[in-house]
Amino acid sequence: MKDFPAPPPGSCPDVLHPRCPSRQVLQHLTSRWGALVLVALAGRTLRFSDLRRALGDVSDRMLAQTLQGLEADGMVRRVAHDVVPPHVDYSLTEIGQEAAVLVRGLADWVERRLPDILGCQR
């Protein structure tokens, strides 16, 4: 694979540049679980187990990794309560809510066009 130089300091973000950090953020937002976490948390707060149930078939490990990535990007807020057993709440930050609206729009479009898409796949 070709080694690309980093974008020049102070340059505008460019998702098409191979070394632009925006690519990693886009990956977190549009990965299978990242997008579903954003949709599931939109407008509400959930505990880990409730979020796992809402998503259906995600493993604990994959959900934890997804949440860590989204939290590192400032999309997810994690609040740990000092109780026994441990109680952790997850919700979206302001920019996470903004991203969730965009992802939900794409999900709505997919659901609306699903019959056409399935027809093309046949």
Each residue's pLDDT tens digit, 53-102: 999 999 999 999 999 999 999 999 999 999 998 899 999 999 999 999 99
Q: Which fold has domain 22-121?
A: Arc Repressor Mutant, subunit A (1.10.10)
**Segments of the chain assigned E as strands:** 46-47, 76-81, 87-92
pTM for the whole structure:
0.85
- The pLDDT value recorded for residue 3 is 62
Domain limits of the chain? 22-121
What's the chain's average pLDDT? Answer: 91
For the chain, give the number of residues: 122
Q: Select the highest-mean-pLDDT range: 3-7, 58-62, 118-122.
A: 58-62
Give the integer Cα–Cα distance in Å for 49 and 61: 12
